[in-house]
Amino acid sequence: MPAEVVRAEVLPGWQTPDGTRMAALRLTLAPGWKTYWRSPGDAGIPPAFDWAGSRNLAAVTFHWPAPDVFNDYGIRTIGYADQLVLPMELRPERPGAPIRIAGEMELGVCETVCIPAELTFAAVIEGAGAMDPAIRDALAARPMPAVDAGVEAVACTFTPIADGVRLDARIDMPRVGGAEVALVEAGDPGIWVSEPQVARSGGALHVRADLVPPPGVPLLLDRSDLRFTVLGSSRAVDIRGCE
């Protein structure tokens, strides 16, 4: 079933001025199917990658395009429908030498039901490459940095609850259009984050969410690791850390 639902293709991209390679992984889904963002929402499978078989690959940095919000059967999930072009910046161990990618990806895909899938992909990337419009467009679709969006301040307070803490954040920022949605990441994928409640008061966006660690695990939270993604009809904004 997964092979009929989703397939993966490596786009080789181009060499950047600082010696990395801007490539991408293109996931093509069957009509009506979707897959998840790096943080899937209330129910979903976060994507995971294994690069163990690769050669001349020191690090991979993903540049996630702004996701969509889906509400199905009362459950909110975050992801992409039909296709995802995920730019991945490859840092070679030996600049100038070919990069041999042998990757494995675990992900979730959903139509009326959600199922786990495993993909494998491989490519040899070498030479200067060329600008790829699909990668360019995916990079342009990333949430803009907070400073470019006019975010002035982010203040957080934490209140203990039975199994974790309640986060209340005040984000001083211009409107992003339409019904604003906020996504919250705790920095540790093991920490469960409830669906954030969002309210607008003039120039401030108020975001509330519960953060809960696994049972029996102490909650270790670094304010600088908190990450907010605000989605609106006109743009998306990436906000990192809070005071």
Does the structure show a pLDDT above 70 at 135? yes
The pLDDT score that the predictor gives to residue 2 is: 60
- Name the token pair of 230: 């605000």
Whether 19 and 36 map to the same domain: the answer is yes
The pLDDT score that the predictor gives to residue 132 is: 97
Give the HSE-up count for residue 200: Cα atoms under 13 Å, Cβ half-sphere. Answer: 14
Nearest to 115 by CA among 236, 4, 219: 4
Whether 223 and 153 map to the same domain: the answer is yes
Whether 168 and 128 map to the same domain: the answer is no
Q: Region 83-106: what's the mean pLDDT?
A: 96
Chosen domain end from 125, 140, 155? 140
- By the 10 Å C-beta count (0-12 exposed, 13-18 middle, 19+ buried), 39 is classed as buried
Are 183 and 176 in contact by the 8 Å Cβ rule? The answer is: no
Residue with the two structure tokens 């702004």: 66
User: Which pairs count as long-range contacts for 111-119, CB under 8 Å and 24+ apart, including other chains?
Assistant: 111/5, 111/30, 111/32, 111/33, 111/34, 114/43, 114/44, 114/45, 115/1, 115/2, 115/5, 116/2, 116/45, 117/2, 117/5, 117/6, 118/2, 119/2, 119/6, 119/7, 119/8, 119/27
Percent of the residues in the chain that have a pLDDT greater than 70, as a whole number: 98
Nearest to 74 by CA among 113, 42, 33, 32: 42
CATH number of the structural domain spanning residue 226: 2.60.40
Whether 150 and 110 map to the same domain: the answer is no
Whether 136 and 150 map to the same domain: the answer is no
Total domains in the fold of the chain: 2
Host domain of residue 149 = 144-240
Does the structure show a pLDDT above 60 at 16? yes
Whether 107 and 186 map to the same domain: the answer is no
Are 110 and 52 in contact by the 8 Å Cβ rule? The answer is: no
pTM (predicted TM-score): 0.92
Nearest to 232 by CA among 172, 163, 170, 178: 178
Chosen domain end from 85, 115, 140? 140
Q: Region 71-81: what's the mean pLDDT?
A: 84
Does the structure show a pLDDT above 90 at 166? yes
